[in-house]
Each structure stands twice: as structure tokens, then as C-alpha cells.
Amino acid sequence: MVRIRNNICKELPFLRLFFGLFLGILIEQSCSIHFNHIITIHAVCITIFLLIKLLKIEWMWKISILLSFVIIVYVITWGSITSSLLSDLKKKTTAIDNCYLLKIEESKPDAGKNEKWIAAVYTRSKNKWNFRGNTYLYINKNMHGKSSIGDLLLSKQPVSIIKKIHNPGEFDFYSYSKINRTYYTIYFNDRKDYINIGNGLKKASKIILHSREFILSTLKTYVQDKQVLGIAEAMLIGYKNDIDPELNKTYTNAGVSHVIAISGMHLGLIYMLINQVFQWIFRKNHLKLIALLITLPALWFFAFLSGASASVMRSVIMFSFIIIGNHLSKSSEALNALFGAGFLMMAVDPETIYDMGFQLSFTAVLSILLFYHRIRKLMYTKNLLLQKGWSFVALSISAQLLTTPLLIYHFQHYPTYSILNNIVIVPVSSIALIAEIMVCINPIDLLNSAIISKGIATCIIGMSSFASIMNTLPFASISFPVMSLQTIAIKILLLYCLFCYLIKKSKQLMLLICLLVLLDCIFTWKEQIKIDTLRRMIVLNMKDAGAIIHQHGRHADIYIYGNWKENKMFHAKRIKNIAKHCLAQDIQYKQLDRHPLILQTNKSGKAVLLMGDDLYGAEAGQLLKKKPEWIVDGSTKLWKIRRWKKEAQNLHLRLLHTAEAGPIYLDCKDYHSFFRKK
């Protein structure tokens, strides 16, 4: 366990900066403080800070508490300003009507008949190309000519803005794209849709691209099995275009998905290998600077080679702090380096805190630094092999103490045997990773094909087989109800306090544990009351089928209609997951026919769901006078939706389409069944 002495702010200077910036970002995101107020607080903090600096040195110790407070408030306002500016930039994400320029940045797995790319979007204003964000670019494979990274494409094709249309509990594509600064989608179905004006790839980017292509071609030469190749590519450089989706799901369910996603573990292993080589070559002190100048660029090159994900950037920044500190003969506290890395990443991009990779990577390292040494000391043996084995077990346990609540919050389930899976799979994956590096740098073809490539295949097949077997065992996964962020935060603090109390019993810790248990009960009770008072109808966003959740508290009637016969099992699984995230427990399914449906609501009085047939007669006239909400979902053909949309515009009526607006929530009155007036 990391030992922090008397003055925690002196030992960990980045600690208050990190939490100050973190709180500032959260405050701005949740409260939306006015920008002028933030500037005022910012100016006051700067003034107080400068006045403190002008005082005599003997008075500094008397106002150290005030100084610390000013720094924290200063950083909080800075975090609010940074986040507010980024939010304003994203609010300006509007439709692009004029000519625009695309620069292809990254390739993605093909989507059916289309090639999928990530491209940067630029629009011209005042003789200057302005960056507007990234876009998902889909190019028809049947067109002549093949696109590549760095290509510059000029086009006037329609650009679609990505909207938040996911159902409760399903993958939030909008938030995922926003974190990656991707706001649009563009489709090119014809060669006339764009003009290729050349390639704008810079030299540094070309070196990284050619290195990736060399590594991929080398692995494809020596690894013949497609499933093994997909895992090998993902492990070495984070390339996931060839990975088998089912195999990826197997690793995720086993709790070892970090093995096939470039993380701090991979970077740490590469640093260890480089460091061991350079310690042997550059033994003299005056030569250590050469080792530093080689090691740091090598780590950063690998970070960009693997895609520069949030977890990798956190790791490489942290290693940079530690390496430079050691070279300058300064004591480099690992916790301080961790908070420093987090601080820099949030300062550059406040949206980093919502990146799941960053969250899990940061909490895993924090958990190891806090708990590892304490857990390792719980057992001691003179047998060196057993002691090494126990050290690795302690490492696996400590890494999951703080990440477990996050996994439960994001996925609502926990792989029961994840600790055992990590104990077995992580060492094997390290051997496979070293073998892959050897294949890429070893010039002897016979050695690569006869020995090393077989070793890679054996390791990866063994890992995959072990993960598959563990997933089939009884109680391989524990399901949890949907929990709020506050509940998860309290449980993390409670877990940490319980661990500290087991190590060293004290009355203060016991009092804190009792307080946290009380808070947990209050929040749980509050959530239960909120569930019991729910009265709503949800028209879900589904394709070629329709579903309405009519929820009163924990009871929900689910009305299904449309084309349910095809993919019946898939739709049923989706509905079950959605109902779980809507906090419904008692569920009943009912069938509806395809006729317009009148829904009684609180706010709009009535809403009309058009499910295939038009609404005619006196009822239609009466409804038009009351101006209800008109709703269309995925059970209706697209040509009919377009016709209704045009008619609604002519009559100045509001028509909502679930494919554009996402699931539609309606507050209903007393409990009742749906009714249809003929």
C-alpha cells in the first residue's frame, strides 16, 4: 500500500488539482453555471492568490489552509470554464449544407456493403478550413478505386447529425461518439458523390501507418488461424477489425477483456523489456540520458501506434512522469503520477471522465496502489514460487476492488470467476505478447514459422479455451439491478473503509462505516420510492416491429405489434433488457393489431400512435382540433412515414418519429388499458 506521510498535499501535489478539476467538470455538467459567474469566481481566486504571494514569508504558514482552499476553488472554476467552452463548441454542431472537406483518419470494420471510416470534417469560412468534428464515413465497396487513410475528399452529400435515439439499457451510440468527438454520419453510394483531391497524411502519421501495416502483414504471414490472428492483432496494437465478435464476447463475459484491449498492462510490459535491455547496455550514469531519450519516444510511439486510447494515454503519461522523476533523482510517487496523468487528460479534454476505458484503467491502477501491498502481506511463505504466485493473486484481487462497482454500474453483472481467469490468462497473454514482438523484430524466417508462431497460437488458443470453459460453469455471472451513480460511489467508499477496518480496527472507521451504511439505506429507499411512483408509457425505437411499455411502479404491460415473427428471440431479449433498465419487475406481454392507437396522457391530453393504418372519420377531425402529439415508430414502412410527415408539416402538426427522436416518453394518468375509438 502506498504510504502517505503527514502532509498529503505536499506528498501528492496533483491530488488537489485532480479532484478540483474533476469536481469543476461535474459541477458544470450537472448545474450549468453561467459563464460570467465562473469568470468572476476565477478572477477573485487569482486576486486572492496573488495577494497571498505578496505577503511576508513568515505569514505563509498561518494562511496555508486558505491558500489550499483558493487553489482548489481556482481549479474547480478552471474545470468549469474548460468544460463549458467544450460544451459550447458541441452546441454549435449544426447541419452542414455547403461544400465540405473530409480527411480520412482511421479505418473501422466493414459495415455490410460499405467500407467504414472515421474522417475529420472541415468547412470553409473566410478563406480558411475550420474543423467541425469527426464523422462516420460509409463508402460503397462496389465503387471503383479504394480509399485509404489520409485521403482528402471534397463533397456536397447530405450530412446526418448523430442523435440520442437509444432505448433504455441499450448501447448509447450518441454518447460513445461524442466522447470520440464524432458528431456526423455520411454515406457515399456513387463515385459522383465526392472528389478525391489527394492524400494529406503527414510524415509522422505515415511512419505510424506503415509500422501498423508492417506489423499486421507480419502477423498474417505467420499466424494462419483467423480467430487467433484477430486476438493477436488486438493484443499487440489494438487492431480489432479482424477479431471474431463471439470470441470478443467470450473474453468480456470472463472478465478479461483488458487482455485484448491495449492498456497499461501492455505498456508496462513493453517498458519493462526496454528498461531491462538499457540497464544492461547503459550502465554508466552519464549514458543514462541516452536511455531516457530512447525509452520515452519508444513508449509514446507505441501509444500512438495502438490508437492512443484514453487508457493508453493515461498509462504513457504516468510512465513519463515516473521515468523523468527517476532520471532527475527525484522521488516519484506513483499515486502522484497517476493523479497528474488524470489531471492533464481532463484539462485537454473534459469528456475523458466519461470514457469507460479511462474510468476502468484509472480505478484499476488506483486500487493496486492502495491495496496491493496490504493484501500481499496477509500471507507469507518461504517458498519463493508460492510467494510469487500469491503476489500475482494479490495483484488480481487488489485491481478489482475498486473496478468491480464500476463494472456493476455499467454492465449490471459481474463475472464470478474473473479473479481466477485473470490469474491464469494474464501471464499467458504476457508470454503471447512477448512472442508477437519477437516475430516482428526477428529476421530469421525459419525460427518465426517453426517455433514462435506456434507458441503464439498455443497461448491464444489456450486462453480462449479456458475463458470459454469458465463461462459455461455454474454461477459464472452474477446479475445486479440497475444502480444510480450515487449508490455506486457510496459502495466504493464503504468497500474501502471495510478493507481499512479489517487491516487496522478503530472507532473512527467503524463510525464512518455505520454512516455510509445509513447513507446507502437512505439512497436505496429513495430509489425504491421513485420506482413506485413511476407512471409512464414508453414508445420504443425498434426496427420493423413495435413495442410500448406501459409502466406503473414495478408493474409493466408490454404491448407488441408489427413484424415480430422474424427475429422473435432477438426482440424478446431486447425487450427484457429494456424493461430491466426501466426498473420494471412484474412484466406481462400483450399483442396489439396494426391500427391507430389513442394514448391518454397528462401533458398533451391525447397522443396518437400511427401503426400502419391511417386515421379517418369524425375521430380524426376531433383529434385534429385538440392538436395531440402524433407518433410514428419502426413498425411502419418508410414511404408511409414520409407521406405522413409531409401531411403533418402542411397542417402545422407535431409528428414524432422514434428513429429520429428516440424512444418517446409519455406521462400517463391513472392505471388503465389502451383504448381505440372507432
Residues contacting 461, CB < 8 A, separation 6+: 225, 228
Listing DSSP states for 481-496 in one string gives ----HHHHHHHHHHHH
Residue 292 contacts residue 279 (beta carbons within 8 Å): no
H-helix or E-strand containing 104?
A: strand 100-111
pLDDT digits (tens, 9 = 90+) for 217-239: 888 888 888 888 888 888 888 88
Give the separation between CA 35 and CA 24, rounded to whole angstroms.
Answer: 13
Give the separation between CA 272 and CA 299, rounded to whole angstroms.
Answer: 11
Q: How far is CA 470 from the centre of its chain?
A: 26
Q: Which residue has the higher pLDDT, 519 or 3?
A: 519
The pLDDT, as a whole number, for residue 673 is: 44
pLDDT digits (tens, 9 = 90+) for 327-366: 776 656 788 888 888 888 887 777 788 788 888 888 888 8
C-alpha distances in angstroms, 623 versus 144, 241, 601, 606, 630? Answer: 53, 51, 14, 8, 10
Residue 626 contacts residue 594 (beta carbons within 8 Å): no
Listing DSSP states for 591-611 in one string gives E--SS-EEEE-SSSSEEEEE-
Share of the chain above pLDDT 70, in %: 79
Q: Considering only 240-244, 267-271, 294-298, 403-407, which range has the smallest mean pLDDT? A: 267-271
- Domain spans of the chain, in order of start: 8-91, 100-201, 207-446, 485-532, 535-667
H-helix or E-strand containing 632?
A: strand 629-632
Count of CB atoms situated within 10 Å of the CB of 76: 24
Q: Where are the alpha helices (DSSP H) in 196-329?
A: 203-222, 226-237, 245-253, 264-281, 288-305, 310-327
**Unique residue bearing C-alpha cell 504571494:** 53
The pLDDT, as a whole number, for residue 72 is: 62
Please state, rounded to an integer, the average pLDDT across all residues of the chain: 77
pLDDT digits (tens, 9 = 90+) for 528-574: 888 888 888 888 888 877 888 888 888 888 888 777 776 777 778 88
Q: Which three cell numbers stand for residue 207?
A: 511512419
- Exposure of 132 by Cβ count < 10 A (0-12 exposed, 13-18 middle, 19+ buried)? buried
- The secondary structure of the chain in percent helix, strand, coil, rounded to multiples of 5, reads 60, 15, 25
Give the separation between CA 134 and CA 570, rounded to whole angstroms.
Answer: 32
Residue 599 contacts residue 609 (beta carbons within 8 Å): yes
pLDDT digits (tens, 9 = 90+) for 271-310: 777 777 776 666 666 666 777 778 888 888 888 888 777 8
pLDDT digits (tens, 9 = 90+) for 442-477: 888 777 777 888 888 889 899 889 989 988 888 888
DSSP state of 636: S
Backbone angles phi, psi at 357, to 5 degrees: -60, -40
Mean pLDDT, residues 406-427 taken together: 83
C-alpha distances in angstroms, 228 versus 143, 225, 251, 459? Answer: 32, 5, 13, 9
